[in-house]
Amino acid sequence: MSTATANTPRTRITDPKVQPKDRAMKKVWLLENLIFHARTGAGEKAAAERMLDRAIEAARKEGEITGDKDSAGAWYGYRLPEVWYGERYEEVKTLSLTEIAARIRADIKLARKVEAKLGAATGTEVAVVDGLGALAAMPKTIKVSVTRDYFAGGGSIDVRIYNLPEKGWGYVRETDNWGQPRWVPNAELRGIIKALEKIHGWYNFDGSDATVDYFHVNYYGGVEVDWRERP
């Protein structure tokens, strides 16, 4: 096992935002928090470096770490997924979810206004390169809300579509693979949902791997249709 030196910078192997459940890995996580914190003193950092090597070895013996990091970037038996970044993430990486939700709210309002004008000028089926063209034909009765919520381990930004023009609007009935009927969004509503999902994702990032219950995002949430009417 190699030990990090001044010439070989140490690479972090735990997520600073996710505290491991296993005791041995929790110790690794705590020590890495010290080592990678900008305000940790040189003496304490050096002690943490020495202790971390022993903690990693203990975690390996417990079976919580297997193997070593290879040239392809796999570390200790697991390869972290690549992180996807929204096209406007850099603008908000230091902002709170409340501030990001406000931006999304304003973006939806503006996009809806602009796309409606484009639709009136060129036809509602105009293809728009940014993927927001479906908002041109979005019924005026529909309202869209953007809410944020904080919880242990992160937070979410949720976009909800309210006040459909009439009961059942935007849905068609189809049969699933087991022959059972179900209601699904039609092409018009799917286009609206996708356009709102695009705006919702502008400020997010995602480096999750659900197969191992590893979640690493800027915020959770998504777009959904709510059948209720909202004043």
Does pLDDT of 71 surpass 60?
no
Q: What are the structure tokens assigned to 87, written together?
A: 């096209």
What contacts 24+ positions apart, CB below 8 Å, involve 83-91?
A: 83/205, 83/206, 83/207, 83/216, 84/205, 84/206, 84/207, 85/205, 86/201, 86/202, 86/203, 86/204, 86/205, 86/218, 87/202, 88/202, 88/203, 89/202, 89/203, 89/204, 89/205, 89/218, 91/203
Neighbour tally for 76: CB within 10 Å: 18
Tens of pLDDT, residue by residue over 101-147, are: 999 999 999 998 888 887 655 554 444 445 788 888 889 899 999 99
Q: How far is CA 215 from CA 47, 121, 143, 154, 199, in A?
A: 30, 44, 31, 10, 21
Does pLDDT of 23 surpass 60?
yes
Q: Spell out where 118-165 has E strands.
A: 143-151, 154-162
| pLDDT (0 to 100) of residue 121 | 58
Tell which wins on pLDDT, 59 or 140: 140
* % residues pLDDT > 90 (the chain): 35
Does pLDDT of 60 surpass 80?
no
Q: How far is CA 75 from CA 59, 80, 190, in A?
A: 14, 8, 40
* % residues pLDDT > 70 (the chain): 81
Does pLDDT of 217 surpass 80?
yes
Q: What's the mean per-residue pLDDT of the chain?
A: 81
| pLDDT (0 to 100) of residue 28 | 84
| pLDDT (0 to 100) of residue 78 | 54
Name, in order, each residue with C-beta under 8 angstroms of 204's C-beta and a sequence gap of 6 or more: 86, 89, 217, 218, 219
Separation between Cα atoms, residue 145 and residue 133, nearest integer Å: 19
Section 206-211 average pLDDT: 81
pTM, full prediction: 0.64
Tell which wins on pLDDT, 79 or 107: 107
